[in-house]
Amino acid sequence: MPGKTHKRHDRSDIFIHWFNAACWLLLLLTGVGLISNPDIDPFGSGYPAWLRSMVGGGGNLLAIHEGIGLVWIAGFILYMLVNFRGARFFLGEIFAVSPARDMGWMLKKMVLMTLGPKALRMVGVDPDLPDQGYYNMGQKAFAQVSVVGGVVIAVTGVIMYLSDRTFGAEATGMVGWAVAGHFIAVGLVFAGLLVHVYMAAVSPEERPGFRSMFTGVVPDGYAKHHHRLWWEKVRTEPGQGSEQ
Ligand code: HEM
């Protein structure tokens, strides 16, 4: 018999997450191919040259990158129209930080993942993590970086897109800042993404959270142990479906 579950994501949340992940993958692959400076090219000049030849030149590659970027922005606008409440809930949750509880969680979690519980006990600190809400502080930190970074990437991307079409020479300074901001924001979100994908898809203890990004629900026991403050709010709600 399937155990009790709690609803964590609705269909539009699941769709926007995987749509975003697919756009990110395509934007990274095409964006890296646009870099034509051998000193900073992460894969050497072979990859950009190969990708450009595959799509009929650098102009076409830029048009593809811009097209995916515009579809990405349109997808988010559509999501906010369809599920404004969901977007508001998400933003409210990720930016609600309780300094004492959440910073304590973050510091302890980093020590636990690297040195283990003994290291905390040796300095007289209880290794139990402070209770967390709908998201833990690690998830909130990454979500904050990806939301702020995503807005910077979108705005700077649109500035660069328009610079080829409508802006004149007087906009050169702004376009220069847009290029720098675009690179920095992509780099910061990408750094967080490495940890996010490891925690979400590889770490066995987060497996129920990973499955919830397809099914929309998490088991009661997982909610209780990983998101206690959220569990205390939803535990009395009627079952929301079942997990295998
Ligand atoms: C293979 C790629 C990815 C996997 C396997 C993955 C997995 C997941 C999972 C399982 C969750 C749900 C966590 C929960 O609610 O308990 C999640 C949430 C989230 N994902 Fe991803 N994700 C991927 C790519 C991305 C990308 C590219 C971004 C943005 C740049 C992103 C941003 C987020 C955000 C903001 C959340 C909510 C906060 C969080 O749980 O960290 N994800 N992801």
> pLDDT tens track of the chain, all 244 residues?
468 999 999 999 999 999 999 999 999 999 999 987 777 766 777 899 999 999 999 999 999 999 999 999 999 999 999 999 999 999 999 999 999 999 999 999 999 999 999 999 999 999 999 999 999 999 999 999 999 999 999 999 999 999 978 888 888 899 999 999 999 999 999 999 999 999 998 988 889 999 999 999 999 999 999 999 999 999 887 555 444 3
CA triple 206-144-223, angle to 5 deg: 30
Nearest to 223 by CA among 235, 211, 239: 235
Residue nearest to atom 27 of ligand 1 (CA): 21
Quote helix, strand, coil % in the chain, to nearest 5.
75, 0, 25
Q: What is the pLDDT of residue 39?
A: 73
CB 223 less than 6 A from any atom of ligand 1: no
pLDDT score recorded for residue 191: 97
Half-sphere exposure of 149 (CA within 13 A, CB side): 18
CA distance 228 to 217: 16
What three-state secondary structure class fits 5?
strand
pLDDT for res 238: 58
Nearest CA to ligand 1 atom 13: 209
Helical (H) or strand (E) element with 217: strand 217-219
Q: Is the dihedral of CA 41, 47, 52, 53 positive or negative?
A: positive
The residue behind tokens 């992460």 is 42
For 81-103, give one letter per residue: b (16+ CB within 10 A) or e.
Answer: eebeebbeebeeebeeeeeebbe
What's the 56 CA to ligand 1 centre distance in angstroms? 34
**CA 139 to ligand 1: nearest atom:** 41
